């Protein structure tokens, strides 16, 4: 297996420029419509914007022809389209099963997607005829098509449901979660318990995906170790993710003369993301230093099951200083971080969370949890502070350190920003990705009789 290249090691890569050694057609299967989102409905999702940035980057490789396939609600069959100012071909695939009744049955019995998704993937592949297929994430159903095709492939490691499932009820017990559910959500099979049960099916599917994988791209020691045990037959490549332009051009600046110390966090509406730890840490801070902290959470819908359960557990049901802001467009997220004093990532498990990458790129002081791949991204005590997940006292203490030692906090943040800008260097990432695709093609040709 190829060794992981970390940012504090010498990066020794051949200078391939912006062209592959031979022209190639590359097909991505993703959870994001990427740059075509605005053409479809203009919606936004937390955590998928880096794929848009990666697409823009690949456009600079003039001899790579790119197609992106994704599931989109409301589609009845596979279709493809193009948009202005993009050379990419986009494919939409139906969300299976089709129809409200079929989806209710699927949720009620906690079933995974039907195998017809494989036929949709095959239709895309037959139409585009790629040289290389790149699957984004082991969590998704797309890699089920791997045994059906004889085309070089690679899976870009995102998260890992197998481990996430073990951390699902880390901070909130099943009973606490159930007590916070509405009868309607339980009746309509939209509860967190139903999500947990269907994710058990996804875990089984993910394990099969690893068994069928031949090439995997990762970026942390954590995901490399998982690949070595879950897919020992696969070749592991290291490649970082690219960020959007504003994270390269904007820089956080220290604030002064404010009544409140503002903390911001960005994460999804999943029970293992540590919202309850953040709320408990806020309560501790408010006891130690009353009315000095404001904590702003982006990505969790206000009044959602997750919000309600965590507020009940922490006693912050009517606390004005802890604000749930819901999902926000990318520009709003950047502005929230730039206007804050500290970024906190309280998750119980993560590989390389985009929100943490973005905070490091902007150069804001950081407190995070020492979980998954995070220690590969941020050096504890040198670039920020990492604490045990689920420990609100240590988290509150780390926040107090950043508050009361601002010069040290700003020094660590500057180091984190410098490291992040090297790690997410666009030219290096594009060269590395071209190298990965080229090596996969060459190794496949060598293995053919």
User: Tens of pLDDT along 317-344?
Assistant: 878 899 999 998 888 999 999 999 999 9
Which residue, among 222, 261, 262, has the nearest Cα to 347 in the 3D structure? 222
Give the start-to-end residue ranges of the domains of the chain.
24-242+425-447, 246-423
Q: For the chain, list residues with pLDDT below 50.
A: 1-17, 46-47
pLDDT of residue 331: 87
pLDDT of residue 110: 86
pLDDT of residue 45: 52
User: Tens of pLDDT along 29-69?
Assistant: 999 899 998 888 766 554 457 899 999 999 999 899 999 99
Instruction: Provide the token pair at 318.
Output: 């009517």
Under 8 Å between Cβ of 275 and 297:
yes
pLDDT of residue 47: 46
Burial of 341 (0-12, 13-18, 19+ CB in 10 A): buried
User: Tens of pLDDT along 196-253?
Assistant: 999 999 999 999 999 999 999 999 999 999 999 999 999 999 999 999 999 999 999 9
H/E element, 292: none
246-423 has the same fold as 24-242+425-447: yes
Kindly report the number of other CB atoms within 10 A of residue 143's CB atom. 25
pLDDT of residue 1: 31
Spatial separation of the C-alpha atoms in residues 340 and 320, rounded to whole Å: 17
- In the block, residue with structure tokens 């943040």: 413
Spatial separation of the C-alpha atoms in residues 248 and 13, rounded to whole Å: 23
pLDDT of residue 5: 31
CATH of 24-242+425-447 among 3.30.9.10, 3.40.50.2000, 3.30.2000.10, 3.40.1110.10: 3.40.50.2000
Fold of the 246-423 domain: Rossmann fold (3.40.50)
HEC states along 135-204? Answer: EECCCCCHHHHHHHCCCCEEEECCCCHHHHHHHCCCCCCHHHHHHCCCHHHHHCCCCHHHHHHHHHHHHH
């Amino acid at each position: 297996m190829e060794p992981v290249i970390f940012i504090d090691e010498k990066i020794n890569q051949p200078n391939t420029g912006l062209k592959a050694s031979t022209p190639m057609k590359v097909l991505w299967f993703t959870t994001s419509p990427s740059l075509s989102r605005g053409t479809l409905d203009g919606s936004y999702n937390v955590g998928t914007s880096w794929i848009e940035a990666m697409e823009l980057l690949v456009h600079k490789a003039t001899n790579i022809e790119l197609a992106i396939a994704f599931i989109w609600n409301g589609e009845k069959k596979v279709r493809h389209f193009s948009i202005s100012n993009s050379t990419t071909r986009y494919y939409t695939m139906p969300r299976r099963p089709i129809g409200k009744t079929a989806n209710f049955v699927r949720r009620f019995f906690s079933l995974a997607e039907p195998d017809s998704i494989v036929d949709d993937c095959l239709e895309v592949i037959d139409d585009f005829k790629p040289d290389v297929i790149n699957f984004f994430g082991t969590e998704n159903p797309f890699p089920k098509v791997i045994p059906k095709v004889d085309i070089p492939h690679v899976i870009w490691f995102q998260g890992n449901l197998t481990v996430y499932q073990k951390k699902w009820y880390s901070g909130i017990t099943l009973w606490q979660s159930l007590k916070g559910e509405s009868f309607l959500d339980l009746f309509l099979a939209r509860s967190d318990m139903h999500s947990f049960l269907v994710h058990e099916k996804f875990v089984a599917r993910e394990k099969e995906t690893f068994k069928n994988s031949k090439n995997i791209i990762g970026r942390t020691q954590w995901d490399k170790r998982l690949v070595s045990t879950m897919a020992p037959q696969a070749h592991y490549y290291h490649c970082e993710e690219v960020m959007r332009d504003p994270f390269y051009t904007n820089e956080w600046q220290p604030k002064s003369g404010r009544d409140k110390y503002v903390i911001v966090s960005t994460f999804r509406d999943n029970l293992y993301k540590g919202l309850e730890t953040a709320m408990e840490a806020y309560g501790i801070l408010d006891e130690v230093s009353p009315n000095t902290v404001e904590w702003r959470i982006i990505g969790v819908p206000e009044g959602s099951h997750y919000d309600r359960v965590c507020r009940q557990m922490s006693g912050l049901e009517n606390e004005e200083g802890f604000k749930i802001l819901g999902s926000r467009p990318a520009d709003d997220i950047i502005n929230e971080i730039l206007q804050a004093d500290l970024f906190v990532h309280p998750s119980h498990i993560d590989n390389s969370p985009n929100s943490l990458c973005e905070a490091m790129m902007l150069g804001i002081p950081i407190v995070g949890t020492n979980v998954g791949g995070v220690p590969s991204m941020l050096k504890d005590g040198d670039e920020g502070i990492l604490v045990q997940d689920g420990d609100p006292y240590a988290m509150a203490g780390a926040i107090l350190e950043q508050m009361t030692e601002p010069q040290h906090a700003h020094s660590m943040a500057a180091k984190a920003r410098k490291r992040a800008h090297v790690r997410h260097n666009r030219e290096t990432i594009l060269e590395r990705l071209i190298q990965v695709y080229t090596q996969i093609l060459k190794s496949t040709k060598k293995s053919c009789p």
